[in-house]
Structure 1
Amino acid sequence: MSEEKLSELISPEAVINFETGAIKASTLDSIINLLPFEMGFCDANDIFRWYSNNPDRVHGRRKEAIDRHVLELHPKVAHHVKKLLNDFHSGARDD
C-alpha cells in the first residue's frame, strides 16, 4: 500500500463539522500528529479503522492492518485482547 497523504484522501481545506465546532481537515491532521501519545480506533465490530501517525511511535503500525479484525492483529495475546474487547462491549471498562 502506498504512503498516501491527507491531500490525496480528502481536500486539506475540507471542513469537518462537530457538535462543538468545525475544523479544517489539515488542521485536525496536524493536531493529531503533534500529540505526545499514540491513538488507534476500532469500530463497534472490533475492526481496526485508524491510527495516529506520530513519527516517534512506540508501537509499530502498518497501513495493512486497517480494516482487519483486531484479534487478527494480536494473535500471540488474543486471549488478553478478547477479554479487553468483552469488557469494553459489556461496559465493564471504558478506557
Structure 2
Amino acid sequence: MDVFYVYILTNKNHCVLYVGRTKQLKKRLYQHAHNTKKSFTGRYNVHKLVYFETTRYVNNAIQRERQIKKWNREWKISLINSLNPDWKDLSEYISD
C-alpha cells in the first residue's frame, strides 16, 4: 500500500516555512538536507521536519499540499502547533 506525505519544514529560528509532498519522506528529507544553496531549502537552511500527515492517494496529497501552500503563515503555525506545539524535529518518526 502506498503512503503519500504532506509535510512542513522550517529552519532553526522557525522564521521560514516550506510545504511539500512526497512518497518517500525519509529520502526527501535527506535531499533537502544535502541540496545546494541554489534551492529554496538550501538557501534558507530549511531542514527541520515540524509537521507531516499521510494519505493513501496521490491526488489527496497534491490537493492538501496546494491548500496548505495557499494558507497564510498564522494558519500554518496553528496547524503545526496542533500536533507539535514544541516544534520538535519529527524526522525520527519517519520509517520509509
Q: Which has the higher contact order (CA 8 A, sep 6+)?
A: 2
Q: Judge same fold: TM > 0.5, yes or no.
A: no
TM-score calculated relative to the size of structure 2: 0.27
Structure exhibiting the larger radius of gyration computed from Cα positions: 1
